[in-house]
Amino acid sequence: MEQEHIAIVGAGQAAASLAMRLRHSGYSGALTLYGDEPHPPYQRPPLSKAYLKREWTVDRLYLRPADFWSDLGVALVTDARVTALDPAGRTLEVNDRTVPWSKLALATGTRPRTLPPEFSGLKGVYELRGLADAERLQDAIRPGRHLMVLGGGYVGLETAAVAVKAGLSVTVVERAARILERVACAETSDAIRALHAGHGVRILEGRSVVAVTARDGAVAAVTLDDGTRMEVDAVLVGIGVLPRDELARAAGIACDNGIAVDVHGRTSAPGIWAAGDCAAFPLAGIPTRLESVQNAVDQAECAADDMLGRPRAYEPVPWFWSDQYDMKLQIVGLNRGYDAVLRRRTERGESLWYFREGRMIAVDALNDARTYMAAKKLLEGGIAVSLEEAAQEGFDPVARMRRPAA
């Protein structure tokens, strides 16, 4: 009988969490992580914050020290090119070698959307997805330069905050009508826009790039669709990411905005699971793909449990965060389908409460950790909060959390 071997394609947060869960839950067979970068598993959120500001060293990014994985009995293969997957034969092609597996987990993450053609091949144009990207961008953040950030999502805005604090002139160009349009209500966008304006960042919304001027092979100026032309020294393109599902698609595994999985993390192919940013799972009956540390960890652990014959449904209350200047934005729940927003202010900060059909479904808390934690417990506990109740002058989410009965 061949030795049991669980292979994990990917070496990010989800892959690391899955491997640790397997080992800590008693799996004793062969276990291999295949990562396409030269580093052990590391944190990505600090890349646009502490690491970009040079407050963290590379070692601090690592989820565990490099020797942790060998001590755990995990074979970590870095610089691994996984080029093919055979679900029937249960093999992978890795660095031109055929590797057998008995069970497989795909934790391949995401990749940046393709650069706009105007920027292709130019020096001075950056993305920010991996450690190598962050190191290249660090060299571009120098006082007196002009940085354009293309895309008003969280990564772009976090980078803008770091750059302007470092002495750069920063312009954010967002194609949509407002920054954070896809992920937050207008009130949250307004608060973040005002925060950046107060620090000198110029934000242009509803604008797109129509022309790029190069000088000696490097970006030198950008022209927008309203005729505005800006001299720039560097451009960060942060226009979103796509799931890395190419390996699964080529193998005939069902994919739809990511690798399709059930509530246990199982793909359409027997013996293969997927977790993290690359996986689309049913949440409240809707195929959902979440890009967050919470999802990477929790979904990976759920998939690991299922691989070991201990199935349980993955039914998360998602949470996210973003640090910009001295502002901590904490988000809990999913606001999709919201039809009302309630703003609440406290002496600490403020929060935006999302409602659908009169029931609270998500909260954005801006420098208000107390409200965030209370809202998180309310959602996790399935405690219904109505719009009418939350709108009352004396409503206290912490007190409501302690009083489950309506």
What pLDDT band is residue 404 in, cutting at 50, 70 and 90? low
In this prediction, residue 398 carries a pLDDT of 85
State the average pLDDT over residues 99-114: 97
pLDDT of 144 over the 70 cut: yes
State the average pLDDT over residues 316-342: 97
pLDDT of 66 over the 90 cut: no
The span from the CA of 77 to the CA of 81, in Å, is: 10
For 57, list phi and psi in degrees, rounded to 5: -90, 170
pLDDT of 405 over the 60 cut: no
pLDDT of 403 over the 90 cut: no
State the average pLDDT over residues 262-283: 98
H, E, C per residue of 37-94: CCCCCECCHHHHCCCCCCCCCHHHHECCCCCHHHHCCCEEECCCCEEEEECCCCEEEE
In this prediction, residue 3 carries a pLDDT of 82
* Domains, the chain: 5-111+243-308 (3.50.50.60), 114-237 (3.50.50.60), 326-402 (3.30.390.30)
Encode pLDDT of 82-93 as tens digits: 999 999 999 999
Which value, in Å, is the radius of gyration of the alpha carbons in the chain? 23
The span from the CA of 266 to the CA of 271, in Å, is: 8
State the average pLDDT over residues 204-209: 97
What pLDDT band is residue 242 in, cutting at 50, 70 and 90? very high
Q: Which two tokens stand for residue 72?
A: 């755990």
72 contacts 29 by C-beta, under 8 angstroms: no
In this prediction, residue 1 carries a pLDDT of 35
Q: Under 8 Å CB-to-CB from 381, ≥6 apart: which residues?
A: 401, 404
What pLDDT band is residue 400 in, cutting at 50, 70 and 90? confident
In this prediction, residue 154 carries a pLDDT of 96
The span from the CA of 249 to the CA of 246, in Å, is: 5
In 3D space, the residue among 3, 28, 39, 32 whose CA is nearest the CA of residue 15 turns out to be: 32
In this prediction, residue 394 carries a pLDDT of 87
The span from the CA of 134 to the CA of 158, in Å, is: 13
Which CA distances in Å does 317 have to 67, 126, 335? 33, 33, 11
Q: What is the DSSP string of 315-338?
A: ----EEEEEETTEEEEEEE--TT-
Q: What's this model's pTM, rounded to 2 decimal places?
A: 0.94
In this prediction, residue 346 carries a pLDDT of 86
In this prediction, residue 2 carries a pLDDT of 62
State the average pLDDT over residues 132-152: 97
